[in-house]
Every structure is written in C-alpha cells, then in structure tokens.
C-alpha cells in the first residue's frame, strides 16, 4: 500500500482551519440520548463525520453511543484500523466482492435481498466466521432495501440462513422526515410496522428495529422504536430551517481563516475571474486563503459574507479555487487578522445554514464538503 503524507496536519499552521469543539459534541450527544431514551442511539459518522473528522468523532463519542453508522465499507475499515471496537453498521448497498472484507473487520452489513443474504452466508462459512446483518426494508425511499410489499421472502430467508449469519437488526429510512408535510413519513412508518408484524404473527423475537434519522427524532417520536440513527443533530445542526428547535444542541464546528493580503482597488476596476464584481468608488479589498478547493462553494460568489474582527463583510468576485476576496469598505484590516467563515465573532454569527442559503444547497452538503485540505483542530477533548 502506498503511504502518502497527509496535508491536513494540524501542526501545519495553515491559516485556514476547522475547529471542532469536542465538549460541545459530547453535550449534543448526551442531549440526543436523553431525548430519545429509552430508545438506543446509533451515531452516524459517515462522510468524515459530517466534516468533523471521522476518527476523532468516533473516538470521543463512539464509547457513548450504542452503535456507530457509516455509509461505505471503507469508513468502517478505517475505524477498525484505528482501533474502534464499537458495533459499526454500514448502511450502503453491498458490492458482492467486498463481503469478505465486512466479515473480516466485524462490520455489520445491510442485506436487502435473499440473494445477498445467501452470498453473505456462503462467505461467512468459507471464512469460518460470523457475519452480522441488519435487514433493510424500503418503505418509500427507493434507494437500497427490499420493497415493503415484497419483504416477507427476505424475512423468511433470514430465519433460515444458518449459524454463520446473525440477523441483529431490521431497518428502513425516511425520505421526507424533514418535509413540512409529514404524511409521507407517517406512511413509511406504517409500512415498516406492517412488515414487522411478521415476527409477531409467528411469535418470533424481533431484531433491533430502527428508522429514525435526525428529523424523525425531533418530529416523529413514535418512530424511535428500539434505536434511532441521528447524524446532523449530533453535530448541533438542525436538518431543516422550519423544524422547531425543540432540542438544545449547538454547532460544534467553526471554520476560520486569516487575512493574507490587503489592497485598495480603484473605482471601476474588476475583481477576480470573469470580472464579475466592481465598485464605483475606490474600495479596500482583502484576500483570504480559502476557496472552492477547500469546499467553500463557488456558487456562493458575490453572496457570501465573512466576519473580520467581528464585523460582517461581503465576499466579492468569483470564489477562486484557493482564495476569496472580501470588500471591507473604508475599514482597515491587517495581515493575519482572523476571518470567520462559519462561527461567531463580536456578537455576529455566520451559520452553516447561511452558507447553504448562499450556495443554494442544504447544511449537510456544506459540512461534508469541507475538504481534508483544511486541517481540523480539536478543542475541549
């Protein structure tokens, strides 16, 4: 295997960095757990823990979670290599060739078809090991999972797949728990509960049942079942702006940079690629070393705002790959002045939701897009 030095070394002193408040993450997670008790809670850490750092989040919060959820095999393998021993469910679809890897690393698989279950049983027998499985029922998302209307065959097969396969859970996923109208989410829950009656009818023990993401945790208490699977809420961000703030969680991530250049631009002289912005009077402009190559979306060009010494200023011109320009009017700024891209300064605040609004996307994409080129610094660990 090729070992490459990583660029996200916190010792690098790159002026652009993400700070993660581990103490806040812990408080968020405790708040979520208390909110859903007695249901168990699986912490979702896919996509670099929503940008907060896969390993550090799993290391600090994993021991306080009943299980950890990732999206792809490689995330689970990485956590195992780093010594994380918790139950890890991989929620994505399985590519057959990778089944032995799941088993070798004791990663819980998502099984969505009878054929897949058989392949898992064969691979486990060949390795002489036990494979752990959660069955996935599609109740209206059309992503992975056996359709709720043809799930019975899978549940049947799961009863007969032999001693090498441990069917520990059964789950589904909401498509619209964050929508204003909850009728589709309620329908999905009903469909899931109907599938689960299979066990009741046969007086069989039901595997661990789960369906609730963050939005459902907040809005559909009846969907908590045996376990919930919150992601974004644990990071202190609400899944959508219209959802009432019924749970006290706060963002744990701050994105900062520094002024690295200052100049005065003459009236009428255009700024940046494509010359998309100019001022009709002389203007003071600073350059900040962050760009779309770091995950600061180009679609925010001429819309975003940043805080410099606690004051809010507009980003001007097109966002470059590695730099942005900010107009500071007649104010002054100096090389090294702190710039807040996400976070608070001087009573002002820029939120993940603000960036999502400027970029025309959702908070999830803003967080997960912050590139690994940006070093992560952990506080209050």
Ligand X SMILES: *Cc1c(COP(=O)(O)O)cnc(C)c1O
Closest CB to ligand X among 26 and 309?
A: 26
Angle between helices 54-61 and 22-36 (to 10 degrees): 50
Catalytic residue (one of 46, 132, 136, 256): 46
Residue 143 to residue 158: CA distance in whole angstroms: 21
If the CB atoms of residues 227 and 327 are measured against ligand X, the closer one turns out to be: 227
Give the binding site for ligand X (CB under 6 A).
Answer: 44, 46, 71, 91, 173, 213-215, 229-233, 239
The residue (of 26 and 303) whose beta carbon lies closer to ligand X is 26
Q: Which of 129, 261, 263, 273 is catalytic?
A: 273
| CB closer to ligand X out of 46 and 258 | 46
Query: How far apart are CB 310 and ligand X at their closest, in Å?
Result: 31
Quote the least distance from Cβ 208 to ligand X, whole Å: 14
Q: Residue of minimal CB distance from ligand X?
A: 231
Nearer to ligand X, 123 or 215 (CB): 215
148 is catalytic: no
| Whether 46 is catalytic | yes
* Active site positions, annotated: 46, 273
């Amino acid at each position: 295997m090729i070992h490459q030095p990583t660029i996200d070394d916190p010792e690098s002193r790159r002026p652009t960095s993400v700070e993660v408040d581990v103490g806040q993450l812990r408080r968020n997670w405790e708040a979520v757990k208390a909110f859903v008790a007695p249901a168990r809670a699986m912490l979702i850490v896919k996509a670099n823990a929503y940008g907060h750092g896969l390993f550090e989040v799993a290391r600090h919060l994993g021991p306080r979670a009943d299980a950890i959820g990732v999206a792809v095999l490689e995330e689970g393998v990485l956590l195992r290599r780093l010594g994380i021993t918790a139950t890890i469910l991989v929620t994505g679809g399985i590519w057959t060739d990778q089944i032995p890897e799941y088993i070798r690393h004791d990663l819980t698989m998502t099984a969505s078809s009878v054929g897949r279950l058989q392949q898992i049983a064969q691979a486990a027998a060949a390795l002489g090991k036990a494979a752990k499985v959660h069955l996935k029922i599609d109740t209206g998302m059309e992503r992975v999972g056996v359709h709720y209307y043809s799930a019975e065959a899978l549940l049947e097969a799961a009863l007969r797949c032999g001693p090498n396969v441990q069917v520990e859970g059964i789950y589904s996923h909401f498509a619209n728990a964050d929508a204003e109208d909850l009728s589709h989410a309620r329908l999905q829950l009903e469909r899931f509960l109907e599938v689960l009656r299979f066990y009741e009818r046969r007086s069989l023990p039901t595997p661990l049942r789960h369906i609730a993401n963050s939005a459902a945790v907040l809005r559909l208490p009846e969907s908590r079942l045996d376990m919930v699977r919150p992601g974004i809420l644990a990071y202190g961000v609400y899944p959508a702006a219209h959802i009432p703030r019924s749970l006290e969680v706060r963002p744990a991530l701050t994105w900062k940079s520094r002024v690295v250049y200052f100049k005065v631009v003459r009236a009428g002289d255009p700024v940046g690629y494509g010359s998309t912005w100019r001022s009709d009077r002389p203007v003071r402009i600073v350059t900040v070393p962050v760009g779309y190559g770091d995950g600061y979306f180009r679609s925010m060009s001429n819309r975003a705002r940043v805080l410099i010494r606690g004051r809010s200023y507009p980003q001007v011109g097109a966002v470059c790959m590695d730099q942005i320009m900010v107009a500071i009017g007649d104010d002054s700024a100096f090389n090294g002045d702190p710039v807040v891209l996400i976070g608070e300064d001087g009573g002002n605040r820029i939120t993940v939701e603000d960036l999502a609004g400027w970029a025309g996307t959702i908070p999830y994409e803003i967080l997960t897009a912050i590139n690994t080129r940006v070093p992560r610094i952990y506080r209050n660990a």
